[in-house]
Structures are given as C-alpha cells and as structure tokens.
A and B are shown apart, each in its own frame.
Chain A
Amino acid sequence: MKNSQLYKGSLNTIIMKLLEENGRMYGYEITQKVKLITKGELNITEGALYPALHKLEADGLLDVEVEKVDNRMRKYYKLTESGEKETVNRLNELEEFIKNMQSLVSPSPNPDLQF
C-alpha cells in the first residue's frame, strides 16, 4: 500500500466505509474501488486487505456470504449491525483525526494568539 505507515491505521475504516456505501463487496472489488476513488494513488495489496477483512469478520463487524460466480467461489463481505454502528464511530474518529492533523500541518492564523 502506498505510504503504508500513514494509511495502515485507516484501512479498516476505509473498508467499512466502502461496505457502508456499497452494501456487499468482494476482496478484489474493494481494491479496485479504492484505486478508482483515489485515482490510482492508493493501492491496497492482498497482504493488507485480506487480513483486515478476516479480522473485521472475526470481530463480528463483517458478515460473509459465499456464492458461486464464474466457476469459482466468491466471498462477499457486508457490515453486520454492530459493524454499521462501529463504522459511524470510526468515521467520526477519522474526521476528528484529519481535522487535528490539518490544524497541525497547516495551522490557520489565530488572531487571539498573535502578539
């Protein structure tokens, strides 16, 4: 994944957000959707994506449906009820984080603090 250190902590939230918007998705579809949205800037590798999906599933945040598609088994992931609630929490946290980072990286001039 590009800039892995920066993106790593947000991968689960990215996945959950995509599932919230798209209902159910399979692994490859998630990688392509992320690539498309970020115009190729962010490339989620298998080694990052699947462990994250499996962990979210083990934590009860994702549910799984398996279907036979084009001569093979395809595993679709979708948010569980608790996953939906958790997505809202994580997105709020992420937005807060981005806001704080923005304040730190490019602080807007605060007249109260000027001498």
Chain B
Amino acid sequence: MKLTEEQIQFIDRALADADFKYSDIRYEITDHIATAIEQQEGDFYVNFDSYIQAHRSEIFKTKRQFIKLARRKAITALGNNLCKPWAIALIVIINAAGIYAHKFYERADVADALDQIFHAIFFIMLLPLAYRYLIYKQVYAAAVMAGSTLGMIFCIGLPGLRIHRLLRNSDLLFTYYGVIITLAVALLVTTYKLDRTYKLRYNGN
C-alpha cells in the first residue's frame, strides 16, 4: 500500500517535532519509515505508532551519529579551505593593511575597524541562514555545523573589542585579526559551499 502525500508529510512533521531539524537526515528517515509502513497492511496511524515504539532508540541513535559526522564533515571542509593559498594570503594582507593603516591612525582605531569587519562577516553569514531556517525550516546539518563553529569563534572574538589593550605588540595584534577574519571568511565560504552542495542534492537548485 503506497502512502499518500499527506501521510508522508505526517511522518516528516512527526520527525521535525521530535527535533529532527536537519532536512537531510529527516528526509532519509522519513523515506525509511514510509517504506517500512508500506510493507504492512492496516491502518497507517496504527502502523506508524507501532513502528516508532519499536524503533525509537535506533532512530535517535541515527540522529546523534549523523550530527557527529556532519560536524566532522564541516571541520574537514573548513580545514581544506584554510589550507588554500587565498586563506594564507588573506592573513598576510590583513596584517600588512593593519600595519600600514597604523602609520596614519591610532592603534586602537585600526583594531576597532578590524573588529567591525570581523563582526560584519559574522552577521552576513548568519542572517541568510537564520532566515531560511525560520521561514522554510530547511537546513542541512553540515552547513549548520560550520555556521555554529563560526558562532563559537564569534563568542571568542568578542573579547577582541579590547584585545588591543591585551596585545601590546602591534604586529601580533594585526596578525590576530588576520587569523580570526580569515577564519570567519573560511567558515563563511565553507558554510555556503556545503549549503549549496546539499541544496543541489535535495532541491536541484
């Protein structure tokens, strides 16, 4: 007995309500449960309930493992992006730009400007993803993992507002900004690349 579109949506919603917020894993488990129920006779809702009762722990185990692997995938992709020549060049350029700007402006002003660049990158990245999640409820695990890593770096970056008082050496200060801005850009690139890959895979656009 083939399931109807409403029944498929029912499974999908039930999983979403059970905190399966990442579309990629939810699609796969929805298909698995739907195919299993299609092999059975009888009432859909009764079959669905009994399937969930019997497989609940296995389904949640799958989700936990999936998130772990998505994080690993995000870190690997980030590492690959950070090893690219543009990332190293960006650190050098930011450092050099900081040193050059310091010839004309106060050290604290240059540090503030670099700090604002870092925060701007963070918001540029976060807003479209947050929008898509809130409006379409469609996010892919590995992309979110990369995005949330940037969130953590943002939190670490916050003390950067006063970092120019902590790091007395100007070269070191501008290198610090070079590294965190490059990391933010690399995470931005990684997040969007992963997001694009999954969007292509599941939506075809």
Contact = CB atoms under 8 A, between A and B. Distances in A.
Contact of B34 (A45, A46, A70): A70
B25 to A, nearest CB: 8
B159 to A, nearest CB: 34
A70 B37 CA distance: 13
Contacts of A55: 69
A77 to B, nearest CB: 10
Contact of A75 (B31, B38, B59, B73): B31
Interface string A45-83: 111101100110010000010100111111100000000
In which size bucket is the chain B interface? 20 to 34
Interface in B1-43: 2-5, 8, 12, 27-32, 34-36, 38
Nearest to B201: A66
B73 A58 contact: yes
Contacts of B29: 46, 50
B30 A72 contact: yes
A54 B31 contact: no
B72 interface: yes
B69 A26 contact: no
Given A66-B202, A72-B34, A50 B66 contact: yes
A66 B38 CA distance: 20
Interface of B: 2-5, 8, 12, 27-32, 34-36, 38, 55, 57-59, 61-62, 65-66, 69, 72-73, 76, 201-202
26 contacts: A26-B31, A26-B35, A27-B31, A28-B31, A28-B32, A45-B58, A46-B55, A47-B58, A47-B61, A47-B62, A50-B62, A50-B66, A54-B65, A54-B66, A58-B69, A66-B201, A69-B31, A70-B34, A71-B3, A71-B5, A72-B8, A73-B27, A73-B28, A73-B31, A75-B27, A75-B28
Given A51-B65, A72-B34, 13 more contacts: A26-B35, A45-B55, A45-B58, A46-B32, A46-B62, A48-B58, A51-B62, A51-B66, A70-B2, A70-B38, A71-B3, A73-B27, A75-B27
